[in-house]
Amino acid sequence: MLFTRTRRYQFSVPKEHLRYRLLGSHVKIHNMDFEVLEKEQKLHIIPHAEQVNTIKTLPITYVELKEDGNKTKVVITSEMRKLDTGGPLLIIIFCAFLLAASIVLLYIGKDPMLTYAMWGVAVFIFTLFLIRMQLGYFDYVRKIRSYMQLTGDQITKDVRQQLFKHKLK
């Protein structure tokens, strides 16, 4: 959909190492707790928003682990909660309707000042919407992706150190 983001990573450790280390871990982003759970052979990073009183647009992230030889391909897909999709879609539809109405008004009504004012209002509302989404929803998505990448890199580093220590003995 419109707010779905997918990112792919590859780590040189077995799938089970990543899964066991990630499963049950918690991520704190902007004082909100996200928990890594397993459901239907996928890891889900789900926000705990029970204690939040303000309106927030939060992602649910699915982590799919695919084994490829001795490497693991990780596909991270973040999408907006079903509960949160209505508001952003209404704002986008409203801005699109406002732009379409202003174009029709320009050709039928021949009033350029009103058309420019409607364009300005639509662009202003859409700009505020984009800024709010970048500071909220997309910031959560970026931080979850960076958490997954940093954690995967750390797990890879730990596994390599253990293998190196084992070979020295």
Residue 109 resides in a domain = no
Residue 50 resides in a domain = yes
Q: What local confidence, expressed as pLDDT, does residue 58 receive?
A: 84
Residue 107 resides in a domain = no
Q: What is the CATH number of the domain that holds 25?
A: 3.30.530
pLDDT in tens, 49-84: 776 667 678 888 999 999 888 888 999 999 998 888
Q: What local confidence, expressed as pLDDT, does residue 27 receive?
A: 85
Please give the single-letter amino acid code of residue 32.
Answer: M
Residue 43 resides in a domain = yes
pLDDT in tens, 39-49: 888 889 888 87
Residue 45 resides in a domain = yes
Res. 169: pLDDT tops 60? no
Pairing state between β 32-39 and 26-29: antiparallel
- The whole-model pTM stands at 0.80
pLDDT in tens, 1-19: 678 899 999 988 888 888 8
pLDDT in tens, 76-134: 999 998 888 888 999 999 999 999 998 888 888 777 888 889 899 999 999 999 999 99
Question: How many domains would you assign to the chain?
Answer: 1
Distance CA 60, CA 5 (A): 11
Expressed as residue numbers, the domain containing 151 is 5-86+130-168
Residue 40, C-beta contacts closer than 8 angstroms, at least 6 positions apart:
none
